[in-house]
Structure 1
Amino acid sequence: MADYYQDYILLFITCLVSTIVVRAILSRKRNKSNRPPSPQALPIIGHLHLLSPIPHQALHKLSTRYGPIMHLFLGSVPSACSQEREGGAIDVGRELLTLSNNVVSRMIMSQTCSEDDSEAEEVRKLVQDTVLLIGKFNVSDFVCFFKNWDVQGFGKRLKEIRDRFDTMMERAIKEHQEERKKRKEVGNGGDGQIKDLLDVLLDIHENENSDIKLTKENIKAFILDVFMAGTDTAASTIVWALAELINHPDVMERAREEIDAVIGSGRLVEESDLVNLSYLQAIVKETLRIHPTGPLIVRESSESCTIWGYEIPPKTQLFVNVWAIGRDPKHWENPLEFRPERFLSEEENGKSQLDVRGQYFHLIPFGSGRRGCPGTSLALQVVQTNLAAMIQCFEWKVKGGNETVDMEEKPGITLSRAHPLVCVPVPRLNPFPPL
């Protein structure tokens, strides 16, 4: 038995030494082929140890030493990186997540989650579980030795989430199909009726002459994407914006004065008012600059290319650090300051004209080009309208009597707060305007 144990130890040492030698040889070859600069890598795991605890912050620190383009090995995968009266306290983020779920659910299925408490909790839990799982580091994706192993049990958890979502969507699709059948039986095929997204997708699915062919699995996958992209991100942006406003009462007061001047106290702010709320728009832009919901944009090169004289081979993952770009002092004066006025002043190189839709590469919270976020307009409408209503209707007191809130970040695929924003909302308007 001892002999077998010694053999295993010898085999492990041999494999380790072989890996180090191969790494060294490959490293020399990479240097000769003019690849981007790279930190010292460890055997097997490459540079993974350098990316904790929060990847976008760690990548930003590395870029200050190795430059704006780096060559990293994430395990076995090559990557490049570019830079109502006063009541009780509430968890603002949780309430906003429910709101976002309701908005998306109403667009998709013509109903809000709050109409059924059990279903609301099911949707919230499903979204949160999916976002958490997507944000986890999966060793099987990066270390070739574990490619076919579910080392961390993510495969099992993924199947469980997929089955839960499938059950929910099967129920929703069945209800829609039954309602559509009833309308046809009474001679109303839906003409003149407002359709939700699921209706539109089912129209395409049932139309044999449609140029686009959609299966039920396609429909489920598309709706899952909309739920994931449209709930957590919008809620997170509003929470970050409110936290900044609490920490900067002068900005909060100026925003409130603008809203009061444009809307008054007799009605609630509406989407149509946003065009006249330029300072509110600047607040949202500044929030997205400092706290982009997707701090890292991930792409993969389809073919060999040259960037800044460096050779980037095909199948290389590219991490664009949106978080670091928004804090780059080469493009932003006092980049760590929350100052919405930078988007209003004509003196700062036309910053007031900057848009967040991907046309200006130093402000790309929604990405850019063909792979940019297709829901940008909707996200801006939801974020700006709801933030404006929260500013108009309430004073926000931090639980515990603190005058400021911490701005610590939590690791994940989206930029979330490390600690919940717990506040006491105090109504400003009396009487409260009718909805």
Structure 2
Amino acid sequence: MEDLTFYLLLLTIWLASTLLIRHLTSNRRHRLPPGPLPIPLIGHLPLLGTLPHLSLHRLSAYYGPVISLRLGSSPLIAVNSTSAACEVFKTHDIAFSDRPRSYASLRYSYGGPGFAFGPSTPYWRFMKKLCVSELLGSRTLDALRPIRRQERLRLVATLNEAAARGVFTAGSDTTATLLEWALAELINNPSIQYKAQQELDSVVGKHRLVEESDVPNLPYLQSIAKETLRLHSPVPISHRIATRDAKILDYDVPAGTIIFINLWSIHRDPDNWVDPFEFKPERFEDMALEEKQKNLLHYAPFGGGRRGCPGMTLGLDVVHVTLASLVQCFEWGVDGGKVDMKEGMGLTSPRKNPIVCMPRVRLNPFPTLHE
């Protein structure tokens, strides 16, 4: 037993020494970003916690906007500023054109050849072009508009029944997560909810349900969706992997390094936004026209570059008209007047606690649901 303990101690010392030497020699070969010393074998995994985007935001306050970490034995660079994200999404987009592969992604994509996680090869570029033009293009989206409308009417009808009973519990994931966060913000900011309803009453009226064709005439509602995406991006961290040696803000990024672009932190950077933690849709209304027309990387809820989300148009179409329907048809509130805004764990960015809402029908007669 004593011999076993001795050999285990030797093994631990050898592993720790090897990792320390590798870390020191790697730093001499490359000018890596600053970061805390890793723990042998597991690296910085304990520092990321259950909400990695929040942990990375706190680390950036000490180590700067670009941080060098390790996930076990895998090198990781975390990006927490707009200028650094610009180098990943635009300047060196080709060098960061792949996603890191994991067991979960391989299982999800049946071995990895799929569009979401596949490497940036001619086949992947062909698949992206095919998906964008045939599945997510304007022609297909227009053809599927009646189906989206039918599903939205079913949602409104369900909420109408729930309002009659008086309890409704919100669920979540991706688009549903975003809608849930939007409702939570509107409940906590009744003046914003009221302003959105006034806009809907003025543009749509009170005798028919809002349609997708109305959305271009609802700028304040669109601003609410944008502000919700800024504060509550369904995916708060965008993932990349370096396919070749590159640089981020003059720091070396060796090939094979995993890149985390922390959108949560970028969307709350006080250098980019006034009152960055406040829910303020008006900030998008007040932006100058030339600013709206720029590709603003300090606002990138769908990622950027060639790996940006190709379903952005579809996602926004669904979010805009669904949120408009919920705001037009119902007054939203909760017991106590305020909703807890804590985040929970998940592949997306869900709420920690579900909303138990009290929707109250605000249109009488209620718009017909079976047109």
Tell me, what secondary structure is at the counterpart of 2:333? strand
Give the C-alpha shift of residue 20 in structure 1: 1.4
Contact 1:73/1:79 (<8 A) preserved:
yes
1:116-170 per-residue CA deviation (whole Å, 9 max, x = no partner) reads xxxxxxxxxxxxxxxxxxxxxxxx96xxxxx9xxxxxx89xx69x98xxxxxxxx
Q: Which has the higher contact order (CA 8 A, sep 6+)?
A: 2
| Distance in structure 1 (CA, Å) of the matches to 2:291 and 2:201 | 22
Counterpart check, 1:64 vs 2:61: yes
Counterpart check, 1:425 vs 2:366: no
Tell me, what secondary structure is at the counterpart of 1:44? coil
Determine which of 271, 275, 285 is the counterpart of 1:334: 275
Aligned counterpart, 2:266: 325
Give the C-alpha shift of residue 57 in structure 1: 0.1
Tell me, what secondary structure is at the counterpart of 1:409? coil
- 1:13 counterpart letter in structure 2: L
Aligned counterpart, 2:299: 363
1:190-239 per-residue CA deviation (whole Å, 9 max, x = no partner) reads xxxx998xxxxxxxxxxxxxxxxxxxxxxxxxxxxxxxxxx821100000
| Distance in structure 2 (CA, Å) of the matches to 1:397 and 1:351 | 37
Aligned counterpart, 1:390: 326
- 1:16 counterpart letter in structure 2: T
Aligned counterpart, 1:55: 52
Give the aligned length.
289
Aligned counterpart, 1:404: 338
| Distance in structure 2 (CA, Å) of the matches to 1:243 and 1:425 | 12
Query: Closer, same or farther in 2 for the Cα pair 1:9/1:22, shift >3 Å?
Result: same
Counterpart check, 1:15 vs 2:15: no
| Distance in structure 2 (CA, Å) of the matches to 1:53 and 1:351 | 39
1:70-89 per-residue CA deviation (whole Å, 9 max, x = no partner) reads 11001111010001xxxxxx
Tell me, what secondary structure is at the counterpart of 2:243? coil
- 1:65 counterpart letter in structure 2: Y
Query: Closer, same or farther in 2 for the Cα pair 1:9/1:350, shift >3 Å?
Result: farther
- 1:337 counterpart letter in structure 2: E
- 2:297 counterpart letter in structure 1: F
Within a 5 Å distance, the mapping from 1:100-115 to structure 2 comes to none
Tell me, what secondary structure is at the counterpart of 2:359? strand
- 2:188 counterpart letter in structure 1: N
| Distance in structure 1 (CA, Å) of the matches to 2:293 and 2:197 | 23
| Distance in structure 2 (CA, Å) of the matches to 1:62 and 1:424 | 39
Aligned counterpart, 1:105: none
Identity %: 43
| Distance in structure 2 (CA, Å) of the matches to 1:406 and 1:195 | 39
Counterpart check, 1:293 vs 2:234: yes
Counterpart check, 1:257 vs 2:198: yes
Counterpart check, 1:353 vs 2:292: yes
Query: Closer, same or farther in 2 for the Cα pair 1:361/1:45, shift >3 Å?
Result: same
| Distance in structure 2 (CA, Å) of the matches to 1:323 and 1:80 | 16
Contact 1:63/1:70 (<8 A) preserved:
yes
Contact 1:238/1:387 (<8 A) preserved:
yes
| Distance in structure 1 (CA, Å) of the matches to 2:42 and 2:293 | 40
| Distance in structure 2 (CA, Å) of the matches to 1:415 and 1:60 | 15
**TM-score normalised per structure 1:** 0.63
Give the C-alpha shift of residue 354 in structure 1: 6.1
Contact 1:343/1:354 (<8 A) preserved:
no
Within a 5 Å distance, the mapping from 1:307-326 to structure 2 comes to 307-326=248-267
Counterpart check, 1:81 vs 2:22: no
If each structure's helix is expressed as a fraction of its own residues, which one has the higher value?
1
Counterpart check, 1:27 vs 2:23: yes
Tell me, what secondary structure is at the counterpart of 2:286? coil
- 1:60 counterpart letter in structure 2: H
1:355-401 per-residue CA deviation (whole Å, 9 max, x = no partner) reads 8xxx2111111011211111111100111101101100011121xx2
| Distance in structure 2 (CA, Å) of the matches to 1:431 and 1:352 | 42
Query: Closer, same or farther in 2 for the Cα pair 1:49/1:351, shift >3 Å?
Result: farther
Give the C-alpha shift of residue 34 in structure 1: 1.2
Determine which of 219, 226, 232 is the counterpart of 2:173: 232
Give the C-alpha shift of residue 11 in structure 1: 2.5
Give the C-alpha shift of residue 351 in structure 1: 8.4
1:84-113 per-residue CA deviation (whole Å, 9 max, x = no partner) reads xxxxxxxxxxxxxxxxxxxxxxxxxxxxxx
Aligned counterpart, 1:88: none
Counterpart check, 1:283 vs 2:209: no
1:325-372 per-residue CA deviation (whole Å, 9 max, x = no partner) reads 1001010111000000000114xx6587268xxx21111110112111
Query: Closer, same or farther in 2 for the Cα pair 1:69/1:425, shift >3 Å?
Result: same
Determine which of 341, 349, 353 is the counterpart of 1:415: 349
Tell me, what secondary structure is at the counterpart of 1:70? strand
Task: Could you tell me which runs of 5 or more consecutive residues in structure 1 were left unpaired when the two chains were aligned.
Answer: 84-139, 142-146, 148-153, 163-193, 197-230
| Distance in structure 2 (CA, Å) of the matches to 1:351 and 1:296 | 28
Tell me, what secondary structure is at the counterpart of 1:417? coil
| Distance in structure 2 (CA, Å) of the matches to 1:369 and 1:309 | 20
Tell me, what secondary structure is at the counterpart of 1:37? coil
Within a 5 Å distance, the mapping from 1:135-150 to structure 2 comes to none
Q: Which has the larger radius of gyration?
A: 1
Aligned counterpart, 1:165: none
1:24-52 per-residue CA deviation (whole Å, 9 max, x = no partner) reads 21222133221111211111111111001
Aligned Cα root-mean-square deviation (Å): 2.4
